[in-house]
Structure 1
Amino acid sequence: MAVENYIHDLLYRYECVILPGFGAFITQQHSAHIDSTTNEFYPPKKTISFNRQLVKNDGLLANYIREVENIPYTTAVQKMDSFVQELNSVLENNRMITFEKIGAFTLTKDEKLQFEPATETNFLKEAFGLSNFTSAEILRETYKKQAVALEEKAPVAFTPERRSGSNWIKYAAVGILALGLSGAAGFNLYSNQIDEHNIAEQQKAATQLESQIQQATFVITNPLPAVTLNVAKQTGNYHIVAGAFREEENAAKAVEELKAEGFKARQIGANRFGLHQVLSSSHESRRDAINELYRVKKTNPGAWLLVEEL
């Protein structure tokens, strides 16, 4: 099931992935914690739940399918609809279906859909590779008390060793000088290794960030004359992407047309494909952004939701 795999991929990057006509998969982040009774350490993670009420298409999954399979948006929507029909058919016949690494659905006797998430999958990408482990209890204070008790019973006196002559002082001075020189060289080498490591990590982070930048297309016919409006600065990490253009001039015209229609539109620069992206609005909460997206898609089906700190 290709659509199932696409949902799995998106859950690592987004808090909500809607399968139109079926429901929404929602992730929630949990901090790392330690079980005081078992001394077991649990890394941070993102768990998954399912909401049967969110069934409207927000464009996220459809645009991802369109991009990965290089197919038209309408074809991607039809593929999702066929997948949902197949799901409903399997549930009616078998009363149960499993999404690998996501969870299992069960249809109860009263026709209610229950979801059991897969516990072995951690959708928090920052915690990739981390697993639970148990640490033995640290008995530092116990050992300290035992050592103090032994010292009180049998104190140990240290007598400095007598040495003839002063040659050992010369040897010690030479040794200290050698250690100092080698330590300085080692510190410089260590510093260089740290710099190289930081540069590599910065390059890796930039590559990962670049791979997550998304694109969309938006065609505007009959552009309106340019209109200049003074609007308040847009804030929030949830953005409605109205379109992306090969020519920056077309993107600027799209911004002006959207502003004329009452939107607080703006450009956010070109993505890695060289397309100049245009936002119609930004929002503080995901729910406000999704509500706005539903409204915008009535006139612009190609609009989609971008979750990113700009």
Structure 2
Amino acid sequence: MMIEKHISALLYRYQCVTVPGFGAFLAETTSAQLDNDTHTFYPPKKLISFNANLKNNDGLLGNHIALQEKISYDAAVAEINSAVSHWLNELHNNQTLVLKNIGSITNNAEGNLVFTPDTPVNYLTDSFGLSSFISPAIKREEYKIIAEAIEEKAPVVFTPERKKNYSYLKYAAIFVVALGVGSVGFKFYRENEIATETLLVQQQAQEEVQQKIQEATFFIENPFAVTLPVKEEVTSMPYHVVAGAFRSEENAATAVEQLITKGYKAAKSIEKNKFGLYPVIYSSYTTNHEAQEALNKIRLQDNDEAWLLIKE
């Protein structure tokens, strides 16, 4: 009986297959490899090795042979012992023991067994269907050198017809530049026009905004009478961030002092509106964008009830 075929079958599923009285065949999984000399790619596989010191019977090989050959376990062990005796006799006579699909074993000068794996079989089931292949090296640098050499030798000829065909490009470039300049000019004109229209619309909406003034409040602790500073109507700065509006001119002055103490140096009171209230503002601005930025900052840091007044 050739027990090597049973050893080979077990190597697909186990890492160690022991042959009682002879040694153990070990299967170690290795990753894919590249041979730089031959440009050959090899898939992952199980690398087979041999250990002559593992000779104890673990029952794996005997049970497998008994099951496959439909014989008893004792008969299978007897077959193994017979094969091992034959193998040892060949090795004792300095012959090379060849095990199909596993490898070859010989005796060295010191009398030790030397195993050489020599098998086309890949025992790693995860690599089933994968085989080695050769991929020629990519020669980018060589092709680049060849191309540069051709470019140096190849003459470059421009025919009159080709020059004529490209003449329209300069006119297209002039057109593109003119179109770009016109687009920029129109953009600035349109932005100015939109800003003017926006200011007119916001001024018209102030009639509704003035209704909010009657509900505006400004909390003052320990109010006291002070001299109201001279009010100046801001005409060049139509956007005002309002802190509150007051019936009493003295309370308005107190609110101004409190805002100045907080660091709002431009705080002041403007002229009384049609509701008889004195608006107190943080500051005035020339553009809506500046006023909105200041309003958002004040609402976040000081007074979430501050609002924007647009007044020429």
TM-score of Structure 1 vs Structure 2, range by shorter chain? 0.3 to 0.5
Point out the structure with max Rg over C-alpha.
2
TM-score (norm 2): 0.43
Higher relative contact order (CA 8 A, sep 6+): 1
